[in-house]
Amino acid sequence: MKGAREYSQLFKTGQYGRLYITSSSHARGNTFRIQVLPKGEEALPNGDNNVCLNKDAVEVYGVIGGNPGWTEFYGWKHEGPWQSDFDAMVLQRKSEIETERNVQAISLAESEKELLNREHELLASY
């Protein structure tokens, strides 16, 4: 769904500091919600139901328009310092993913080089 796909691919459902993030999907696409938890409180997950059960948690990012389940779109419901914290988390997660991709690419290149060397040595020893 619009405004949810990118973030839901970056984060798994869970608590990140005082933010509780829910990444999920339904038949029409990905869903993504953020709740701010009270200071010092641990999240009480609610399975696949898209929110934590903490009674004083406030949803700050979620569905802001459209027909829920069909044409919904996501955005900030409340503005505040959690937005800059979340932006920093997004940048960090993108950097981690890029690093993981680079490590995988290097590993794949090394594996291919080793395979080519083994083939070359075998053929040269014929």
Q: How many CA atoms lie within 13 A of 110 on its CB side?
A: 6
Alpha-carbon distance 59 to 49, whole Å?
14
Instruction: Render the burial of 70-107: b for 16+ CB within 10 Å, e for the rest.
Output: eebebeeeeeeebeeebeebeeeeeeeeeeeeeeeeee
What length is written for the chain?
A: 126
Written as tens digits, the pLDDT of the chain (126 aa) is 477 888 998 999 999 999 999 998 887 788 899 999 999 999 988 876 667 889 999 999 999 998 877 888 899 999 999 999 999 999 999 999 999 888 888 888 889 989 999 999 999 998
The pTM for the full model equals 0.77
